[in-house]
Amino acid sequence: MTPISKTLMVVAALAVAGCSNPDRFGSGSGAGMGAGGSGFGMDGVASDPRSVAYFNQTVGDRVLFAVDQSTLSDTARATLDGQARWLMDNPEYSATIEGHADEQGTREYNLALGARRANAAQEYLISRGVSPARLRTVSYGKERPIEICSNEACYSQNRRAVTVIAAGAGV
Amino acid sequence: MLRVLTPLFALALGAMLVPAAGLAQGGPLRIEIDEGVIEPLPFAVPDFVAENAAAAEFARNIARVVAADLAGTGLFREIPAEAHLARVTNFASPVQYSDWKAINAQALITGAVSVDGNGRLNVKFRLFDIYSEAPLGDGLQFGGSAANWRRVAHKVADQVYSRITGEGGYFDSRVVFVAETGPKNARQKRLAIMDYDGANVQYLTDAASIVLAPRFSPTGDRVLYTSYESGFPRIYVLDLATGGRRGLDDQPGSMTFAPRFAPDGRRVVFSLAQGGNTDLYELDLSNGRRTRLTSAPSIETAPSYSPDGRQIVFESDRSGVPQIYVMAASGGEARRISFGQGRYGTPVWSPRGDYIAFTKQHQGRFHIGVMRTDGSEERLLTASFLDEGPSWAPNGRVIMFTRESAGAEGAPALFSVDITGRNLRRVPVQGSASDPSWSPLLP
């Protein structure tokens, strides 16, 4: 076997191990699997306040940001207040907060900006009493837009921090 | 299997040719690139002479690649074979200058190819200045495996380019980039490598994880890149000869990205985000020691070393919007060098040390530009919905970058442009591609 195909096999093996979460970019669909989910329906039904589906749809899994900004609006804080309450009521879950940017910016800067946004949401949740051990952050920069048009209607939805709930109390 | 990077051998055809001493230099066959060429120099490249039957196909294909390299610069224009009055059937025969003058060729490239029993290629070429009626430089011959025939052709074209422009060549080089497939909100990305002209694409990773912004090492043997295979952006180094790769930084709770080699190939500068703040760090590859270079609440990213390794140019929003700064490679006080309107990012120091290429965003448009290393003489080379991520050709005269189209069907492609702003062209790669990084000239 050539060295390069060995590499590809290693990559492929890692991919299988880490690919249980196809819906983690926050499409908002209740049908999506939660992180670590083993199958359809894992998120439960949105009428159950303890379900991940309830968190995603009723509490709201995301907050939006102004251009280039990582400060939290009143609306964002209200959403995060709800997220903090839900997380404290449901201690068996942990969360990864994904920071995203719109496409108007360089790849590198947007990665850093996404990190800022995810951190702003994380800090707020901690300030509302969520244990830091249950939270972690990742930035996707402009790599995973949720809306794909190239104007402000889409950009405003893409400048977001999405709280992705996963089973397990700690990270 | 990666194509080998074994050096091609080259030697002067001293005994084969009439010595060209005195005629090789100072002739009128000269292009001054800095002046910006408006009228490309007409040249002719007849099919090379096949010295045995096995060489027939190579003889034609090598001439075609040489012609494409030269014409692709925008500095030269090929006079097609249909217009030629003379045929070159014997490499050693004297050139009938009048035949080439009659069709207004200013440069003539002739060559001959043989293939030995072991499949090794031997390619000879000569360059003639038609108006001076003299060779320009010595004849040369190159050898290599037949599989490397395109590299041999690029070597010939680099020689021609260098002799006529006085600049280093850049055709025998490769580009590592990100090949993209799939819809905009679920793009799949793979590292890939190709010849500078889009030929010989090979994939280096599969599409399981997002990969970003590969960067060649100064000797072209390794590639730095960012991958999400751990679930978080982290920097990796890939050895092109062995395919082996390793993560360079796996501190929990941090993300690393935007890596770039120092000119000595032993250190890496990169961005590390922790607690929402992004700063620059240097990693010593020999001992894994990490040194923090900046410590500010602002974003510091997209670092690039000067060719002497003593300075780093980078992007920071410490003034409120992203701008370009220069500091010592050891960190410390930074000096802002971009002062125009708009936002500046992804600065890259030219391998010649004379310019810094950058991305500029202003009034909803993106530009690739160059400026002197003190920020003076800013010049925008391109404009579009989204241009970003310049990478220098090995001779510091051409820049390759990503151009992404707008809208739901928007997709990225690779483009190149001269530092004069001329000769904007799409690099012919199948499918979508982004984040090019140009290798040094191959050995």
The CA distance from A153 to B131, in Å, is: 62
Domain assignment of residue B389, yes or no: yes
Q: Residues A79-131: pLDDT tens digits?
A: 999 999 999 999 999 999 999 999 999 999 999 999 999 999 999 999 999 99
Q: Residues B343-402: pLDDT tens digits?
A: 999 999 999 999 999 999 999 999 999 999 999 999 999 999 999 999 999 999 999 999
Q: In what order do the strands lie in the sheet with B245-247?
A: B211-216, B222-227, B234-239, B245-247
Angstroms from A67 CA to nearest CA on chain B: 11
Angstroms from A68 CA to nearest CA on chain B: 9
Q: Are residues B148 and B64 in the same domain?
A: yes
Mean pLDDT across the stretch B258-284? 98
Mean pLDDT across the stretch B320-334? 97
Domain assignment of residue B1, yes or no: no
Beta pairing partners, B216: B223
Q: Are residues B262 and B215 in the same domain?
A: yes
Query: What DSSP letter does each residue of B17-68 carry, written as one string?
Result: S---TTTSSS-S----GGG--SSPEEEE-PPPEESSGGGHHHHHHHHHHHHH
Contacts of residue B93, defined as CB under 8 A and 6 or more positions apart, other chains included, come to: none
Q: Which residues of A touch B408 (CB under 8 A)?
A: 148-150
Q: What is the mean pLDDT of chain B?
A: 92
**Which of B165, B187, B214 corresponds to the end of one domain?**
B165
Dihedral sign for Cα atoms in the order B315, B316, B322, B327: negative
The answer to whether residue A40 scores a pLDDT higher than 90 is no
By the CB < 8 Å criterion, does B342 face chain A?
no
Q: If you search the block for the tokens 């941090």, which residue do you land on?
A: B254
Q: Residues B77-88: pLDDT tens digits?
A: 999 999 999 999
By the CB < 8 Å criterion, does A126 face chain B?
no
Sequence letter at residue B443? P
Per-residue confidence at B22, pLDDT binned at 50, 70, 90? very low
Q: Which residues of A touch B245 (CB under 8 A)?
A: 7
The CA distance from B153 to B161, in Å, is: 12
Query: What DSSP letter does each residue of A143-166 carry, written as one string?
Result: S--SS-SSSHHHHHHHSEEEEEEE
Domain assignment of residue B78, yes or no: yes
Question: Is A11–B271 a contact, with Cβ atoms under 8 angstroms apart?
Answer: no
By the CB < 8 Å criterion, does A170 face chain B?
no
Query: What DSSP letter does each residue of B353-368 carry, written as one string?
Result: SSEEEEEEEETTEEEE
State percent of chain A over pLDDT 70: 74
Question: Is B346–A108 a contact, with Cβ atoms under 8 angstroms apart?
Answer: yes
Q: Residues B96-113: pLDDT tens digits?
A: 999 999 999 999 999 999
Q: Are residues B245 and B222 in the same domain?
A: yes
Q: Are residues B309 and B349 in the same domain?
A: yes
By the CB < 8 Å criterion, does A120 face chain B?
yes
**Which of B101, B130, B165 corresponds to the end of one domain?**
B165
Residue B420: per-residue pLDDT: 92
Beta pairing partners, B225: B236
Q: Where are the alpha helices (DSSP H) in B113-234?
A: 149-165
B-contacting residues in A 11-50 (Cβ below 8 Å): 11-12, 14-16, 18-19, 25
B10 vs A67, higher pLDDT: A67
Q: Are residues B210 and B245 in the same domain?
A: yes
| CATH number of the CATH domain containing B123 | 3.40.50.10070
* Number of domains within chain B: 2
Mean pLDDT across the stretch A24-33? 39
Structural domain that includes position B93:
9-165
Output the six-digit token pair for A81.
């207040």
Burial class from Cβ neighbours inside 10 Å (0-12, 13-18, 19+) for residue A74 reads exposed
Q: Are residues B152 and B14 in the same domain?
A: yes
Q: Which residues of B touch A11 (CB under 8 A)?
A: 205-206, 208-209, 229
Question: Is A107–B273 a contact, with Cβ atoms under 8 angstroms apart?
Answer: no
Burial class from Cβ neighbours inside 10 Å (0-12, 13-18, 19+) for residue B58 reads buried
The CA distance from B62 to B188, in Å, is: 35
Question: Is A113–B299 a contact, with Cβ atoms under 8 angstroms apart?
Answer: yes
Q: Are residues B146 and B124 in the same domain?
A: yes
Closest among A90, A97, A21 to A52, alpha carbons compared = A90
- ipTM, 2 dp: 0.91
Domain assignment of residue B443, yes or no: no
Q: Which residues of A touch B277 (CB under 8 A)?
A: 115-116, 119
Domain assignment of residue B190, yes or no: yes
The CA distance from A163 to B47, in Å, is: 63
By the CB < 8 Å criterion, does B4 face chain A?
no
For B16, B52, B179, B204, the CA distances from B189, given in Å and listed in that order, are 51, 44, 6, 11
Structural domain that includes position A111:
3-167
Q: pTM here?
A: 0.89
Supply the DSSP symbol for B3: P
Helix B149-165 with B56-72: angle, nearest 10 deg? 40
State percent of chain B over pLDDT 90: 88
Helix (H) or strand (E) holding A17: helix A3-17
Backbone angles phi, psi at B325, to 5 degrees: -130, 155
- CA angle, B240 as apex, B266 and B283 as ends, to 5°? 25
| CATH number of the CATH domain containing B417 | 2.120.10.30
The answer to whether residue A67 scores a pLDDT higher than 80 is yes
Question: Is B2–A70 a contact, with Cβ atoms under 8 angstroms apart?
Answer: no
Q: Residues B225-264: pLDDT tens digits?
A: 999 999 999 999 999 999 999 999 878 889 999 999 999 9
Residue B329: per-residue pLDDT: 98
| CATH number of the CATH domain containing A44 | 3.30.1330.60
Helix A107-127 with A74-89: angle, nearest 10 deg? 60
By the CB < 8 Å criterion, does B283 face chain A?
no
From the list A108, A119, A150, the residue facing B301 with the nearest CB is: A108
Residue B321: per-residue pLDDT: 95
For B259, B302, B405, the CA distances from A124, given in Å and listed in that order, are 30, 29, 37
B250 vs B211, higher pLDDT: B211
Closest among A63, A18, A56 to A34, alpha carbons compared = A56
* Number of domains within chain A: 1
**Which of B165, B187, B208 corresponds to the end of one domain?**
B165
